[in-house]
């Protein structure tokens, strides 16, 4: 980071994939990174080890982003410990794919609870503190699915489109307070979440001819969290190899 102050960054769903790569990138840039996870502590410890290997510092913070009370308690603990949270990266997400005609109510509600409600559950308590200190960065990881729609992912697409809309609205609300709110919209990225996709079929749809890497998404996230990105807010940055432009 450009400042001598060690920024405090919370990254949700940071035990693997894109979240892990973002956590490591922020740590390499000088942040103290709070690694959120829900169940897999072993993988979260691996993220923490990678942070330390990159010369950074961090800590683990297990809680469910879909649980409003748990999020409020976690934010309260972190602010009590560090006096502030400077950066929030909303990355935690789940998929439960099915054609809408066959989609069970819980498949709809659980995906929205994590992927969309999680934004509200964390952004609300965090942004108040950011506004008071007149500096903050909120970056949410959405998806190309939220821009174009994907068959079999009505729940996921709805949640990610909601994150985009909510981020644009919040960006307007807090722009004068030195807080930026932006969205990353990755396409097909090499992660566990995309491992079950029909690879050859997907590759045929990508002009760049390959899947993206978590580190490529992380580089964009890290930049949006810097002072250099202070005039970028309400933006949706496509990281998709040309799938959607």
Tens-level pLDDT at each residue, the chain (245 residues): 444 579 999 999 999 999 999 999 999 999 999 999 999 999 999 999 999 998 899 999 999 999 999 999 999 999 999 999 999 999 999 999 999 999 999 999 999 999 999 999 999 999 999 999 999 999 999 999 999 999 999 999 999 999 999 999 999 999 999 999 999 999 999 987 555 556 777 888 899 999 999 999 999 999 999 999 999 999 999 999 999 99
CA–CA dist 177, 172 (Å, integer) = 10
The domains of the chain, with CATH numbers, are 8-239 (3.40.50.720)
CB atoms within 10 A of CB 166: 18
237 has which bridge partners?
A: 184
62 has which bridge partners?
A: 37
Closest CA to 80 of 91, 92, 72, 88: 72
Long-range contacts (CB closer than 8 Å, 24 or more residues apart) made by 95-101: 95/153, 95/156, 95/193, 96/155, 96/156, 97/152, 97/153, 97/156, 98/152, 99/151, 99/152, 100/154
CA–CA dist 197, 191 (Å, integer) = 11
Identify the burial level of 192 via C-beta atoms within 10 angstroms of its C-beta, where 0-12 means exposed, 13-18 middle and 19 or more buried.
exposed
Overall residue count recorded for the chain in this entry? 245
Query: What positions carry a catalytic annotation?
Result: 156
Q: Tokens in use for 245?
A: 């432009």
What residue has token string 């990353």? 184
Helix (H, G, I), strand (E, B) or coil at 98: strand
């Amino acid at each position: 980071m450009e400042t001598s102050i060690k920024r405090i960054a919370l990254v949700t769903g940071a035990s693997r994939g894109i979240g892990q790569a973002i956590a490591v990138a922020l740590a390499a840039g000088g942040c103290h990174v709070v690694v959120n996870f829900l169940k897999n502590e072993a993988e979260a410890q691996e993220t923490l080890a990678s942070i330390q290997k990159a010369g950074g510092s961090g800590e683990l913070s297990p809680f469910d982003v879909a649980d409003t009370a748990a999020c409020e308690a976690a934010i309260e603990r972190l602010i009590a410990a560090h006096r502030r949270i400077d950066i929030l990266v909303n990355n935690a997400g789940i998929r439960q794919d099915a054609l809408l005609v066959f989609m069970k109510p819980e498949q709809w509600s659980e995906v929205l609870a994590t992927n969309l409600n999680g934004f509200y559950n964390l952004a609300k308590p965090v942004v108040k503190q950011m506004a008071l200190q007149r500096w903050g960065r909120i970056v949410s990881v959405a998806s190309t699915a939220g821009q174009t729609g994907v068959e079999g992912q009505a729940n996921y697409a709805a949640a990610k489109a909601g994150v985009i809309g909510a981020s644009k609205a919040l960006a307007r609300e807090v722009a004068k307070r030195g807080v930026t709110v932006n969205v990353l919209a990755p396409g097909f990225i090499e992660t566990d979440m995309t491992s079950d996709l029909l690879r050859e079929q997907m590759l045929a749809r990508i002009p760049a001819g390959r899947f993206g890497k978590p580190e490529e998404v992380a580089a964009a996230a890290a930049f949006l969290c810097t002072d250099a990105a202070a005039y970028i807010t309400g933006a949706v940055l496509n990281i998709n190899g040309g799938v959607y432009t």
